[in-house]
Amino acid sequence: MSCEKQVSRNGGDCLEVGAGSRPFDGSATAWLVGQGVRYLNTADKEGELAYLRVVELLRHCSKDVLETVVGLFRQANLGDAPLRWSLLYVLGDAGDGSASEFLVRAALRSLPEAKEGEGCEGARDMELLVCTMAVHALQRIVARHPEVSEQLLKIVSARPARPILIEAVKVAGELGLKEKARDLLAKEDHWILDIRRAHTQELLADAEREDGKERGFTPPKAGSLYTAPKVGCCTHKEK
C-alpha cells in the first residue's frame, strides 16, 4: 500500500464535513486517518477492533502520518474541537517520536479568553480539551519512544494554563519523570505532584447497614390523573 501524500484538488482550507468538503480524500494516509477518527467514535467491539487495525496500518506509514495529521489539524476550523481532539488521539496511537514536537506545540497553543455566560462548553473550554489531549497523546508517544521524554517536560517548564499543567505533571509522574517535573515547578505548584489517578475499585465504599432494607421510603405511585404524553397530529415537515 502506498502512503505518499497527494494534494487535494479543491485546495480548500476548511475541514467542516459537508457537501463538497472531503478532507480525508487527499491521500491514502489521510483516508486511513479518517477511518481512525470514524472508528474512534464508535462504541462497539467491532469498531474498537477496526480502530486497532487502522492504527497498525498507520504505523507502517509513520513518516507520512505526522505530515498528514498536521495538515488536517491546521485546516480544521477553530470551532471544530472534536475533530482536532480525535486527530491528536489517532496521532498518539499511530505516530512515532517525530510527532512529539508538534504535540508540544499543540498543548501550548494560545487559548481564547473565557467569556461570561458560555457555561462549560465555551470556546476556551473546548480548546482546553484539545490541549490536554495533546498532552495525553504525547504520553502514549513517550511510552513507545522513551528517547523523546524530555519533550513532555517542555510543557511543564512552559507553565501553561493550570488544567494543562496539571495533566502534564500527572503524565510526567506516570512516566517516571516526577522528580524532573518537581525541579521545573514553582514551589506553590508542588501540590500537583500529589495528585494521582485512582482506580474505580479504590472508590467503592461498603454500605454500613447490614439489614439490606430501606426505611422511611415510599415509592411514588401513579394516580388516576396520570396520563402519558401523546403525540399531536400537527407536525411540521421540513421542505
DSSP single-letter state for residue 20: T
Residue 150 domain-assigned (yes or no): yes
Residues 35 and 75 in one domain: yes
Q: Is residue 27 part of a domain?
A: yes
Name which residue leads in pLDDT, 152 or 77.
152
Q: Are 33 and 68 in contact (CB under 8 A)?
A: yes
What pLDDT sits at residue 39?
96
| Distant-in-sequence contacts of 21-28, Cβ < 8 A, 24+ apart | 23/72, 23/75, 23/76, 24/72, 26/68, 26/71, 27/3, 27/64, 27/68, 28/1, 28/2, 28/3, 28/4, 28/61
What pLDDT is attached to residue 214?
52
DSSP state of 79: T
| Domains of the chain: total | 2
Instruction: With beta carbons less than 8 A apart as the criterion, state whether 55 and 36 touch.
Output: yes
Range among 36-50, 54-68, 217-231 rated most confident: 36-50
Per-residue pLDDT tens over the stretch 136-150: 999 999 999 999 999
Q: Which domain holds residue 33?
A: 23-80
Instruction: Band the pLDDT of 207: cuts 50, 70, 90.
Output: low
List pLDDT tens digits, range 72-119. Answer: 999 987 668 999 999 999 999 999 999 999 999 999 998 888 776 666
Give the model confidence (pLDDT) of 13-52 as tens digits.
Answer: 333 444 346 889 889 999 999 999 999 999 899 999 999 9
pLDDT at 191: 84
Crossing angle, helix 149-158 and helix 100-107, to 10 degrees?
A: 20
Q: Per-residue confidence at 60, pLDDT binned at 50, 70, 90?
A: confident
pTM value is 0.73
194 within a domain of the structure (yes/no): yes
Q: C-alpha grid cell for residue 1?
A: 500500500
Q: Does residue 88 lie in a domain region?
A: no
Identify whether 16 is part of a domain. no
Q: In terms of domains, do 54 and 148 share one?
A: no
